[in-house]
Amino acid sequence: MADNNTLGITRRGLLGAFAATLVVAAPTYSNAFGLLKGAGDIRRVRMYSGRTGESIDTIYWIEGEYIPEVLKEINHFMRDWRSDETVKMDARTVDIMAAAHRLMDVSEPYMLLSGYRSPGTNAMLRSKSRGVAKNSLHMKGQAADLRLKSRSVGQMAKAAAACASGGVGRYSRSNFVHMDCGPVRSWGG
């Protein structure tokens, strides 16, 4: 049996993220059954951008409720930095990011490489790389490309995949993981 600490995933982190991933996997049931009401459930996201120099460390969910003002801050932070365009990011993607971060039991913030991408930015990137999807979920505000210094691409991908709530792409050569709230699938190496 593998030692989970060598993988960057601790038992405490796994149990702590269980509640968040449960709600991510079945958001309609959280209100119906009050699974986390009164349980002190919070969701936090920590990121910085090397492109803009900005950082965010915020609680965006408290006891079954998103905080709309904070989601707007997250939308702005995850904007297309090339065009300065902002869209409403799908909160499910933020939930997956937060749950994976919690599973890895790290305090280091994610480095956000790409959140929302305008169609123009996506087309430009696609012309330079075959790894950019024509109908990328980045253009819908449903994806993020992330990096951690303290965790490998494999560790990050494993944590994101454990959420079983969307797509997980491993980009080992570029040292980042793609997380999205689309269909459950995985790719890359």
pLDDT digits (tens, 9 = 90+) for 71-89: 999 999 999 999 999 999 9
The pTM (predicted TM-score) of the whole model is 0.78
Structural domain boundaries, residue 19: 4-188
Least Cα distance to 143 among 101, 183, 83 occurs for: 183
| Domains in the chain, number | 1
List Cα–Cα distances, 75 to 13, 37, 87, 143, in angstroms: 27, 26, 6, 12
- Whether the pLDDT of residue 21 is over 90: the answer is no
pLDDT reported for residue 54: 97
- Whether the pLDDT of residue 122 is over 60: the answer is yes
Q: What is the C-alpha end-to-end distance of the chain, expressed in Å? A: 23
- pLDDT tens digits along 25-76: 434 333 322 333 444 589 999 999 989 999 999 999 998 999 999 999 999 9
pLDDT reported for residue 144: 98
Average pLDDT estimate for 157-164: 96
CA separation for the pair 55, 44 (Å, rounded): 13
* Contact between 23 and 95 (Cβ < 8 Å): yes
CA separation for the pair 7, 13 (Å, rounded): 12
CATH of the domain at 30: 3.30.1380.10
Can you say how many angstroms the Cα of residue 140 is from the centroid of all Cα atoms in its chain?
Answer: 14
Determine whether 5 is exposed, middle or buried from the number of CB atoms within 10 Å of its CB (0-12, 13-18, 19+).
exposed
The token duo for 46 is 């920590």
Residue type, 39: A
Least Cα distance to 104 among 180, 185, 163, 35 occurs for: 163
